[in-house]
Amino acid sequence: MSGPNLALDHLPEEAALLLAEQAAPPPPPPQPPARGPRWRVVGGLLGAALVFYGIDLAFSFYPAVFSATIPALWLGALLAVGAGRKPGATGGGCATAALAGLGFFFLGGLELALGLGPASVGLWRVGLVTALIAGLGLWRDGAEKPAPPPDLSPRITPWIEVLRAVAADVAPGRRVTGGLDLRGAQVPEKLTRSAKAASGAEISIYRDEWLRLRLPLRDGSQLRIAAVDRVKARGEYWKQGSRRRKLKPGRSERLGTLEVQLVVPPSLYRPRAEPPAAAAVGALAAGPAVVEQNRATIAARLDAEAPAAADVVALAARCFAAFERAS
């Protein structure tokens, strides 16, 4: 996945709007030009050139009128293609045709000058190849589609709902900080460790904290949420078989976790004697609450692209359940 890398330092409503802009569905990719009558004309001309070339090979037929047929067909095909191209379109196919056309005339003249055979033979052969190259090049220019941008809404939309759900609990005038990084896990600065396996494959370990939020709450507590992917990537390597070596493709393994941490003011809260145990929270398998003085942390395995907003809020509530009011 390749996406944005944003820093957040906004009011909750502004942060939700910023994420909503990133989650907007990408525009549809441009459609390739329709192949209408123009392409049928080009195909007919190239087909006729092929027929005349076959007659030449079969019967060695070289009259002057016949010799001019394939250059005329070739020129007509290029004119038909060029007439339908839009202004500003890429000209890779036209450039290919022009270069091949120079070779077309050069080789025909060379055969005639050296007396190697009728000039039409060289003209026909190179003319046919030229037309095919030009047609394929221009078809490729028209048929290539840019890769559509990735759809980021499945990963971003739940966090918009989280921000809207907790907006009323954020301290008035305080800002939500953090970041959203959807560039993918295998980015150099996210590499934590690398080694080489016995097979020779490169093993790389990445830690991708692709979302982090820090929310200052009304009672002075700090709620921190992080979505983290840990990725183990194995590069391709050669494996010696019984008869020959085989190139084994690389692969990667992902372990996603959702980490929720709550830091409370010690003057208002104290830890409970029995913090919340491990339990299933919606679609998440949450571990037990780890309490250290005024800090409670719960980690849950995240198999989906992003958690449901209700599950994130429920994890935050379990962190609050690790504390009670100080008397």
pLDDT in tens, 115-169: 555 544 555 555 555 555 555 555 555 444 566 677 888 889 999 999 999 999 9
Is the model more confident about 313 or about 34? 313
Between these two residues, 303 and 224, which has the higher pLDDT value? Answer: 224
Residue 176 pLDDT > 80, yes or no?
yes
pLDDT for the residue numbered 119: 46
Q: Tokens for 236?
A: 């391709």
Residues with Cβ within 8 Å of 231's Cβ and at least 6 positions away in sequence, in order, are 185, 186, 205, 206, 208, 252, 253, 254, 255
Of the candidates 175, 174, 202, the residue with the CA atom closest to the CA atom of residue 186: 202
DSSP state of 84: T
57 has pLDDT over 70 = no
What is the rounded CA–CA span in Å between residue 185 and residue 199?
A: 24
Q: Tell me what pLDDT residue 304 has.
A: 84
Distance of CA 3 to the CA centre of its chain: 8
SS3 at position 305: coil
Q: What is the pLDDT of residue 46?
A: 59
Query: Which tokens go with 128?
Result: 């046919």
pLDDT tens per residue, range 1-54: 568 899 999 999 999 999 998 888 766 666 555 544 455 655 665 566 566 656
Whole-structure pTM value: 0.65
Structure tokens that stand for 56 in this block: 């030449």
169/316 Cα distance (integer angstroms): 12
Report phi then psi at 31, rounded to 5. -80, 145
Q: Report which DSSP code applies to 170.
A: B
Phi, psi for residue 24 in degrees, rounded to 5: -60, 140
Q: Show the 3-state SS of 213-261.
A: EEEEECCCCEEEEEEEEEEEEECCEEEECCCCEEEECCEEEEEEEEEEE
* Residue ranges covered by each domain of the chain: 37-143, 151-325
From residue 307, give the alpha-carbon distance in Å to each of 3, 22, 170, 258: 19, 18, 21, 8
